[in-house]
Amino acid sequence: MDASEEAARGLTDIEAFLYREGHLHAAQQRVAAFIAREPGLTPEQKNDIERWYLDEQTYVARMVTDHITDSVTAAHARHRVRLGRWLRGTMIAMTLITVATVGLCVVIVESVN
């Protein structure tokens, strides 16, 4: 893996981390607001609800991040295939143009002599 690929991978990891952290921060605020509205809960029940909800939201954030990563990776692979085909076609066209130009030059040079 070259430096640019490592940098891209690092940025992807940072983005995933920031997404998860932002998601979990919002989840903590939601569960805290929910628990505050329920006066009949014991401290143990509040802790259980908070732990369960944050575990679920961690799982959801990881699944979403993995899905996005898989989608981007698949799109990148499709793009590389398309680019490879385009480059091959361009190379073939340029080769044919070069051969035709050289052939035309040979014909012109021989007809002058």
Q: What is the pLDDT of residue 1?
A: 64
The domain segmentation of the chain, as residue ranges, is 3-86
Residues 24 and 58 sit within 8 Å (Cβ to Cβ): yes
Q: What is the pLDDT of residue 46?
A: 93
Q: Is 41 exposed, middle or buried (0-12, 13-18, 19+ CB in 10 A)?
A: middle
Q: What is the pLDDT of residue 42?
A: 92
Q: What is the pLDDT of residue 39?
A: 87
Q: What is the pLDDT of residue 86?
A: 97
Mean pLDDT of each 10-residue bin along the chain, 113 residues long:
76 83 90 91 93 92 86 92 97 97 95 83
Q: What is the pLDDT of residue 21?
A: 87
Contacts of 87 (CB under 8 A, 6+ apart): none
Q: What is the pLDDT of residue 32?
A: 92
